Structures are given as structure tokens and as C-alpha cells.
Amino acid sequence: MDFAIRGQHIEVTDALKDYIDKRLSRLEKYFDIPPATEGNVTLSVTRGIHKVEVTIPLPGGVFLRAEDRSDDMYTSIDSVLSKLERQIRKHKTKMNRRFRQDESLKGLFVDEGANASVSPSTDEEEDELQVVRNKRFLLKPMDVEEAILQMNMIGHNFFVFSNIESETVNVVYRRNDGKYGLIEQE
């Protein structure tokens, strides 16, 4: 598994790159065939807080994502690895059951492995009414259950998807009471 490692407000040294490669290569044991796609690792330092974000795209539009903040970069890397391992172990059974007919995802995970909920990222310095990030992505047709699974896998509180049943764009979201909501077009 290859990773694109970049730093924000930090120089990514060879020692950091080697440590990240060594630690994240442990994830390969959870896959029958390691993903051919390149994962992204972003390291940043803000006000003495070391933040690590890892995103690994998998076949079928599935993403593994985790982030951690601490006073030490190496501690953050280890914590992200633990979160990703828990994430894989938790969702592998659900994914294999859900996608058992889809050969591209059927054997994605090795038979061992559960996924900690990833805390949603928040910007500490958020300006009012200013767009600070713009994302573009293809909407994969899926049902509500799969959209909730995807939302939980990437650790967000909402997920935009193309509803396979109604053929409209919908949003699922996590409510404050821990249940889920669905926003549909009229």
C-alpha cells in the first residue's frame, strides 16, 4: 500500500516518512489483496498540536479515514493506526455481508479485523459565511442503509448520496440522540 505524505506547517522528514510507512504497512494484513489506490497522509502542526489525517480509498467508492491530534506527532500516528484497525475490524463483517454479491468487495478484507468512530474534524478558526473548502465527487447510487454505513466509515455526521430507489440526491445524517435522519428532495 502506497501513501502520499504531505505536511502543513511542518517539514516531513525521512524519519517521519519511514515511521509512517512502517506503521501503516501493518494495515495490509487485513486485506486479501492490498488496495492498488494511493492513500493520503496529511501531517500538520497548529499551536503545538500535532495532527495526522489518513484517508485510504478502497474499491467501490469506500473510504477508510481517521485523524488524531496530540502533543506528539508519533503518538498521533500510532493513534490513527489504532483507529483505522478498529474501523476495519468493525465494518469488515458488515461490508462482506452487504456486498457478498459484489465480487470487487466480497474478498476485500481478510477474515479477522473493527472500527472506532472517528471524531469529526472541526476548524478552530472558522470565518462566518466563508467557503474554506470545496469538494467534488461522484454520487454512487446506493440505498439508505449503505449510505449510513459509508457515513460511519468516513467518520462524518452526514453523507450525500444518490438514492437508488428514488433516483434523487439524498442526505443521511446522525442526530444528536444517536439515531439517523434522511433528507430527501421533493
Average pLDDT, the chain: 79
Q: Which residues contact 131 (CB under 8 A, 6 or more apart)?
A: none
Query: What pLDDT was estimated at residue 118?
Result: 40
Check pLDDT > 90 for residue 180. Answer: yes
145: CB partners within 8 A, 6+ apart: 98
pLDDT at 91: 67
Task: State what percent of residues in the chain have pLDDT above 90.
Answer: 20
For residue 51 the three cell numbers come to 495532527
> Is the confidence at residue 109, as pLDDT, over 60?
no
Q: How far is the first Cα of the chain from the last one, in angstroms, to the nearest whole number? A: 43
Phi-psi region of 134 (alpha: psi -120 to 50; beta: other; left: phi over 0): beta
Q: What is the pLDDT of residues 115-155, one digit of tens each?
A: 434 444 444 333 456 777 888 877 888 999 988 988 888 88
What residue segments make up the domains of the chain, in order of their start? 3-117+134-183
Q: Which CATH number fits domain 3-117+134-183: 3.30.420.10, 3.30.160.100, 3.40.190.10, 2.60.40.420?
A: 3.30.160.100
Q: What is the CA radius of gyration of the chain?
A: 17
Question: How far is 146 from 121, CA to CA, in rounded Å?
Answer: 22
* Residue 114 confidence (pLDDT): 42
pLDDT bin (cut points 50, 70, 90) of residue 113 is very low
- Edge-to-edge strands of the sheet including 39-46? 3-8, 39-46, 49-58, 62-70
pLDDT of residue 43: 92
- Give the C-alpha separation, 172 to 6, whole Å: 31
93 touches 106 (CB < 8 A) = no
pLDDT per residue over 158-167, tens digit each?
999 999 888 8
Structural contact between residues 148 and 160, judged by C-beta atoms closer than 8 angstroms: no
